[in-house]
Amino acid sequence: MKLEELKAKFLQTYGQMAQAGFFAPGRINLIGEHTDYNGGFVFPCAISFGNYCLVRRTDQAVIKLRSLNMSFEADIPLSELSMAISNEWVNYVIGVFAQFISRGLQITHGLEMLYYGDVPPGAGLSSSAAIEVVTAVAINTLFGFGIDGQSLALMCQKAEHDFAGVHCGIMDQFASAMSKQGHALFLNCDSLDYQLVPLELGDHKIVISNTNSPHKLDSGKYNERVAECRQAVTEMQKGKKFSFLAELDPDEFSTLEHLISDEKVRRRALHVVEETARTKDAVDALIKGDLSRFGKLMTASHKSLKENYEVTGFELDTMNEEALKNVGVLGSRMTGGGFGGCTVSIVHKDAMANFIENTGKNYRQKTGLTPQFYIAETQDGGKQIF
Q: What is the pLDDT of residues 1-33, one digit of tens each?
A: 899 999 999 999 999 999 999 999 999 999 999
- Candidates 332, 334, 330; CA nearest to 309 is 334
Report pTM: 0.93
231 domain-assigned: no
113 backbone dihedrals φ, ψ, rounded to 5°: -125, 130
Beta partners for residue 113, in sequence order: 55, 65
How is residue 120 annotated by DSSP?
P
Contacts of residue 71, defined as CB under 8 A and 6 or more positions apart, other chains included, come to: none
- Residue-level length of the chain: 386
What span, in angstroms and rounded, lies between the C-alpha atoms of 48 and 313? Answer: 27
The residues carrying an active-site annotation are: 172
Let me know if residue 344 belongs to a domain. no
Structural domain contains residue 299: no
In the predicted model, what is the mean pLDDT of the chain? 95
Residues 187-222: tens digit of each pLDDT: 999 999 999 999 999 999 999 999 998 665 545 888
User: Residue 63 falls within a domain, yes or no?
Assistant: yes
Q: Is residue 253 part of a domain?
A: no
State mean pLDDT over 315-322. Answer: 98
Answer whether residue 237 is part of any domain: no
Instruction: Compute the distance between CA of residue 167 and CA of residue 227 in angstroms, rounded to an integer.
Output: 10
pLDDT for the residue numbered 219? 57
- pLDDT tens digits for range 229-275: 999 999 999 999 999 999 999 999 999 999 999 999 999 999 999 99
Judge residue 230's burial from the number of C-beta atoms within 10 Å of its C-beta, 0-12 exposed, 13-18 middle, 19 or more buried: middle
Query: Does residue 264 form part of some domain?
Result: no
Domain count of the chain?
A: 1
CA-nearest of 109, 99, 117 to 91 is 99
Backbone dihedral angles phi then psi of residue 337, each to the nearest 5 degrees: -70, -20
Q: Which domain holds residue 11?
A: 3-198
Looking at residue 120, its pLDDT comes to 80
Sheet of strand 383-384, all strands in order from the earlier edge strand to the far edge: 74-77, 62-67, 110-117, 44-58, 20-29, 383-384
**Among candidates 70, 69, 99, 68, which has minimal Cα distance to 82?**
99
| 332 within a domain of the structure (yes/no) | no
Give the CATH number, domain containing residue 63: 3.30.230.10
pLDDT for the residue numbered 124:
82
Q: How many CB atoms lie within 10 A of CB 1?
A: 11
Mean pLDDT of 302-316: 97
* Per-residue model confidence as pLDDT tens digits over 139-187: 999 999 999 999 999 999 999 999 988 888 899 999 999 999 999 999 9
